[in-house]
Amino acid sequence: MMEKERITEEVAEPGGVEGLDTPLVLLVGVISALFVFVIIIASVAYYYAEERRELDKKVYSARYEEVSGIKAGQLAEIEGYRVIDPANGICTIPIEEAMKQIGEEEKAKQSTKHVMPPPGGGHAPGREDGK
């Protein structure tokens, strides 16, 4: 009988291992899984932030520099004097000066504009004195 008792003492409880704290193992496992999940999510977020930063640096800033260069070239074209066709005497003047000249021309047209007399007699209808 002694052997039967000894065998029963050596056999562990069903569903568990003797000396193993199952709730603690479960807690450590859950915390570790959450920690790994948080690290994965943080890595993905960091990746996308770096990708966006790299795109800004390589694509958008390059386009900005390209557009700035084009605008500077266009501005230089409209702000300076140039001869376009010397045979026909065609040249350019700065845009500000051209706008002033157009304004002065329009102002001169407005001041010299007079009212045309009505057709057929030179005086307004209904007036006998011709004024």
pLDDT digits (tens, 9 = 90+) for 84-124: 888 988 888 888 888 999 999 998 888 876 656 666 655 55
Domain borders along the chain are 22-78, 80-112
Local confidence band at 77 (pLDDT 50, 70, 90 cut-offs)? confident
107 vs 105: CA distance, rounded Å: 5
- For the four alpha carbons of 24, 26, 27 and 31, in that order, the dihedral sign comes to positive
Local confidence band at 7 (pLDDT 50, 70, 90 cut-offs)? low
Residue 93, judged by CB atoms within 10 A of its CB (0-12, 13-18, 19+), counts as middle
pLDDT at site 82: 84
pLDDT tens column, 12-59 = 555 556 778 899 999 999 999 999 999 999 999 999 999 999 988 888
